Structure 1
Amino acid sequence: MELLFSSLLLFLLGPIASIARGGDRIPNPSGFWDRSGEFSARSLLQDHKPQELEALADGYMSNSELEKAIEEFGKRCAHISRVYSIGKSVKGFPLLVIEISDKPGKDEAEPAFKFIGNVHGDEPVGRELLILLANWLCNNYMKDSLATLIIKNVHLHILPTMNPDGFALRRRGNANNVDLNRDFPDQFFPINDVVDLRQPETRAVMSWIKGQHFTASASLHGGALVANYPWDGSGDSRYPIYGGMQDWNYIHGGCLELTLEISDDKWPKADELPILFEYNRMSMLNLVASLAKTGIHGRIFSSHNGHPLPASVMIKGIDYKINASGSSGDYHRILAPSGSYEVTVSMPGYRAKTTPTFLQQYAISLDFILDPDGDDAHRRTPLDGCDCNCLGILRRAHGGVYLAVFVILLFLYFLLKRKAVFRFLKRRHSSSHRRVSVV
């Protein structure tokens, strides 16, 4: 089982189409329309009768018990966590998230990872394992090196259940009997773009992804042993999943998501759950830790005023870009180790920069300082970004002497500002084991 997760980094270089399990629940998996001509890809056939599964759920947490477990975790581990809601299900159950970090809720230049469980209501193993994972991290912070590395260097977000209503009904779909993993907008399936058909759980997750700056993600499913990654669909309809969460996540959230089926049995006996957790614990931890231990990380600043920039980052040979965050200018790119890469950073109004780099077994820091391009430099005034009332001073200045003094002071201001950026980068990297470059 651990080999399943430990081999995942081999897939992270770029999107490759693969066949995903679970498509058999779609009424007509070979096409988009049923015989009557009505759209039916999101709707489901009748699942097994709930009473047949009730005995299988014995020993699993109910939704109210799960909510209580999350709230108790938040109180017990408040020093490294916060609990927040991203919305509600059809039946009004809160979709609660646990964030785990040494500075939860703070905006830091660190990668963020998310786990999502129970996307399908009749696949409950993920929700149980994610609560066990959160408690293990809390119990082992400052005791175990891997737990400490994750908490200090990654913002981990855990949504134990995306489909609490489906779990309560013991069926795959939500309360409206819609498969949430077929409900996202799809690049090859435009009918999924109809906003009015979107389920509240799907809308909540989409808003969550847009609001956070996730680097990578994993959703936990059950009923097979599969690791699936973008792309789910294709233009010629050869593959079974359209409207899946991971493709939308990758395209619109800049986040590489893996869909992981981690148990052959959808409803293993409850006393087997701790065993399943131990089988998967190190793999789940290493998957999160890989964000900090490998890849290219950095921040992007403007030479004009020292402000962080939400610039785009492209790797030559990979036809996909990620964006730095708007608040901190930080970016995090997952790449296969032991390889040479050409990194290009660009943003409208600034001159792009490109630099080659070699990624070994450990992460490297690669920071960029972008200069305004020629046209934009003429449009900009040296007053942009000045915290003082520079325009008022200029208007009140009389004579060449005052103007000359003002220009000199302004030049010194921006010179110090730029030096401050370099001093910041030097301080930031002085305590890091990463190889550092500033471009």
Structure 2
Amino acid sequence: TTPDEENEPEIRLPANMHGNEHIGTEITLYFLRHLLTNYASNPQVQDLIDNKEIWILPTINPDGKVANTRRNANNVDLNRDYGYFWDGWGGSPGPCSQIENKVMVQHLDENDISLEYNYHSVAQYVNYPWDYHYADPPDSQHIIDLSQVYADSANLTVTNGYDWYQVTGCIQDYTIGTSGALAWTIETLEPSSSSAIDQICYNNRDALMDICERAGWGIEGVVKDSVTSNPLYARVEFMNPDRVDIYTDPNLGDFHKMIEQGTYDLRISANEYAPKT
């Protein structure tokens, strides 16, 4: 366990996966600056920092950013390369073949991410899963409700990914499909004027403040060995009603699931242990 690891919901904000879509870098850095400069004076910011773990990743395609190209240095579209219903789109030679995505997958495996927004341009959408298939995930109504909260704050429109256009091998579907974290793609305009950029950053900052505090709303707990009290890496299954399963943090054994109010039947399972319900 790392010294700064705590039992908290974790939020991940990757941006600039497509190197020529620069607005995501601005949005995430603007949000980061807001958190750093307002911690001492803003109780909402203070509560968010004290009680959430926030990963801000302003540029996850640095070669594409420098070259001002959509794809990375290997001419692969990183948002077609993820290994969840991968189908070889975007020049991808294999599932999670690119170093940028290998790092993101490792990070997801090592952390209990509850909430993720990844930033793109040049539409004006809050895009929710799935992208690869027309059917909605089991959490769909809660996802749509949260999508609308973000959209209202950021002056965007809610859309289902598949309804907009089909994509396979994207980060959004990989995150929710393999970890159970709620994940969205945010599409904004890509303006050139500083005032327009500032307004987009301001709108998305407010949306993030609205949603990120909700990362702790739902079901949470810690899974431990009943004899040694050592934390366990475990699967948390939602048996009834059906929801996307999640996994505990491999270091602390904690889990956090953003979910609507209600009663749920859970089953907890870990390798070499009898399941618990």
> Does structure 2 retain, via aligned residues, the 8 Å contact 1:113–1:157?
yes
Corresponding residue of 1:286? 210
Moved more, 129-138 or 200-209: 200-209
Q: Kindly indicate whether residue 167 of structure 2 is the aligned counterpart of residue 241 of structure 1.
A: yes
**Which amino acid in 2 is paired with 1:248?**
Y
> Does structure 1 retain, via aligned residues, the 8 Å contact 2:232–2:248?
yes
Q: Kindly indicate whether residue 170 of structure 2 is the aligned counterpart of residue 272 of structure 1.
A: no
> Does structure 2 retain, via aligned residues, the 8 Å contact 1:186–1:193?
no
**Which amino acid in 2 is paired with 1:177?**
N
Q: Please give the alpha-carbon distance, in whole angstroms, between the structure 2 residues aligned to 1:148 and 1:219.
A: 23
> Does structure 1 retain, via aligned residues, the 8 Å contact 2:84–2:177?
no
Residue of structure 2 aligned with 1:326, choices 235, 250, 255: 250
Corresponding residue of 1:99? none
Measured at CA, do residues 188 and 125 of structure 1 come closer, stay the same or move farther in structure 2, by a change above 3 Å? Answer: closer
Aligned length: 246
Measured at CA, do residues 167 and 303 of structure 1 come closer, stay the same or move farther in structure 2, by a change above 3 Å? Answer: closer
Corresponding residue of 2:270? 347
Deviations 1:147-191 (A, max 9, x none): 111111111011101122222222322233321111111326378
> Does structure 2 retain, via aligned residues, the 8 Å contact 1:188–1:234?
no
Q: Please give the alpha-carbon distance, in whole angstroms, between the structure 1 residues aligned to 2:29 and 2:14.
A: 11
Instruction: State the 1:114 CA deviation.
Output: 0.7
Residue of structure 2 aligned with 1:306, choices 220, 229, 235: 229
Q: Secondary structure at the match of 2:183?
A: strand
Q: Please give the alpha-carbon distance, in whole angstroms, between the structure 2 residues aligned to 1:254 and 1:140.
A: 31
Residue of structure 2 aligned with 1:175, choices 23, 48, 73: 73
Q: Kindly indicate whether residue 118 of structure 2 is the aligned counterpart of residue 215 of structure 1.
A: no
TM-score, length-scaled by structure 1: 0.51
TM-score, length-scaled by structure 2: 0.79
Q: Secondary structure at the match of 2:224?
A: strand
Q: Please give the alpha-carbon distance, in whole angstroms, between the structure 2 residues aligned to 1:135 and 1:311.
A: 35
Q: Kindly indicate whether residue 81 of structure 2 is the aligned counterpart of residue 153 of structure 1.
A: no
Corresponding residue of 2:183? 257
Deviations 1:23-51 (A, max 9, x none): xxxxxxxxxxxxxxxxxxxxxxxxxxxxx
Instruction: Give structure 1 stretches of 5+ with no counterpart.
Output: 1-103, 355-439
> Does structure 1 retain, via aligned residues, the 8 Å contact 2:80–2:88?
no
Instruction: Give structure 2 stretches of 5+ with no counterpart.
Output: 136-161
Instruction: State the 1:351 CA deviation.
Output: 4.0
**Which amino acid in 1 is paired with 2:68?**
R
Residue of structure 1 aligned with 2:94, choices 174, 185, 194: 194
> Does structure 1 retain, via aligned residues, the 8 Å contact 2:71–2:77?
yes
Instruction: State the 1:140 CA deviation.
Output: 1.0
> Does structure 1 retain, via aligned residues, the 8 Å contact 2:112–2:256?
no
Corresponding residue of 2:23? 125
Q: Kindly indicate whether residue 124 of structure 2 is the aligned counterpart of residue 225 of structure 1.
A: yes
Measured at CA, do residues 288 and 327 of structure 1 come closer, stay the same or move farther in structure 2, by a change above 3 Å? Answer: same
Q: Secondary structure at the match of 1:345?
A: strand
Residue of structure 2 aligned with 1:163, choices 61, 72, 92: 61
Superposition RMSD in Å: 2.6
- Is the radius of gyration larger for structure 1 or structure 2? 1
Q: Secondary structure at the match of 2:17?
A: coil
**Which amino acid in 2 is paired with 1:343?**
L
Q: Please give the alpha-carbon distance, in whole angstroms, between the structure 2 residues aligned to 1:277 and 1:235.
A: 31
